Amino acid sequence: MSPAVPDPSQDTIFGRILRGEIPCDQVHADEHCLAFRDVAPQAPVHILVIPRRPIPSLAEAQPEDAALLGHLLLVAASVARQQGLEAFRTVINSGAAAGQTVFHLHVHVIGGRPLTWPPG
């Protein structure tokens, strides 16, 4: 699992956050990922966990990304615990038709209110 520096040639707003060019409300950072509060929260707790390596979407993840993807999920659970959530939802939108708007892979961690299923 190599902690690559974000590549400006594949830039998104999350690349700019990773490079410190725009601020975020950070709740976790380590060698491989960053977690921060979503700017348009859909629940009392809404956090995004993003890899430092800019994989555009889950659909484009490769076998060599397996450890990194596992790490993102473990951080998502850790952040949920840190926020005092007993129940929470993790979401990875992959592709515009599935609601993805930022093409830098991210895990949504959502909680703090009852969540219905199925989502829209």
List active site positions.
106
The type of residue at 87 is A
Measured between alpha carbons, how far is 69 from 51 in angstroms, rounded to an integer?
A: 8
* In the complex, least distance from residue 98 CB atom to ligand AMP, rounded to whole angstroms: 8
* In the complex, least distance from residue 110 CB atom to ligand AMP, rounded to whole angstroms: 10
Residue 48 CB partners (closer than 8 Å, separation 6+): 14, 35, 36, 37, 38, 106, 107, 108, 109
Candidate residues 9, 62, 101, 116; the one interacting with ligand AMP per rule CB under 6 A:
101
Looking at the Cβ atoms of 2 and 10, the one nearer to ligand AMP is 10
Measured between alpha carbons, how far is 32 from 76 in angstroms, rounded to an integer?
A: 13
29 near ligand AMP (CB under 6 A): no
Candidate residues 6, 15, 18, 24; the one interacting with ligand AMP per rule CB under 6 A:
24
Candidate residues 3, 44, 70, 99; the one interacting with ligand AMP per rule CB under 6 A:
99
Buried-state track 46-74, b at ≥16 Cβ within 10 A, e below 16: bbbbbbbbbbebbeebeeebeebbebbee
* In the complex, least distance from residue 113 CB atom to ligand AMP, rounded to whole angstroms: 16
Q: Which residues bind ligand AMP (CB under 6 A)?
A: 13, 24, 38-40, 48, 93, 99-102
